[in-house]
Amino acid sequence: MTSEEITAPHMVPGRLYVPYFNYYGAPGSEFYRQLRDNKKIMGIKCPQCKKVYVPPRSVCAACFNNLSELVEVSSKGTLLTYTVIHYTYSPSYQPADVPYACGIIQLDGADTGLCHLLGEVDLDKITIGMQIEAVFKDERKGNILDIKYFRPV
């Protein structure tokens, strides 16, 4: 066997199914549980600097304190920035048909932005600073897409 034969890539066509579960930690798990069961959006508040993160995280990015105090934030907020997606990938794992908009929303009561889909909006009339609100799916499964999208108020 030559060195070229040894180092040549060997490709086997097909798909590999790897079942796995994600563990988001206690704060993240409660975030998704509240979305699913109660249509509530939870943040986590730093005991030292009082910053509220959505979605929750375990350590404060500002002062590095451990975080554990979950707080409910509003399902309404302000659009900080956005983009409109006009292309698709193949195979497509995109959450909506093109064109669609995605934005960063700062919910009332939160200090950080949440990236999510925008819906029920004219793509040519989206503006930074517009007030928007969450629309929840009827059938929720405990993931971020339990929020169907955010629409103008």
Q: What is the mean pLDDT of each run of 10 residues along the chain (153 residues)?
A: 68 71 80 97 97 94 94 98 89 83 98 97 97 98 96 97
pLDDT at 95: 82
Q: Residue 136's Cα: distance from chain center in Å?
A: 14
Nearest to 82 by CA among 99, 106, 110, 104: 104
- Residue 22 CA to residue 45 CA, distance in Å, equals 23
pTM across the whole model? 0.82
Q: Which pair of structure tokens corresponds to residue 116? A: 């999510």
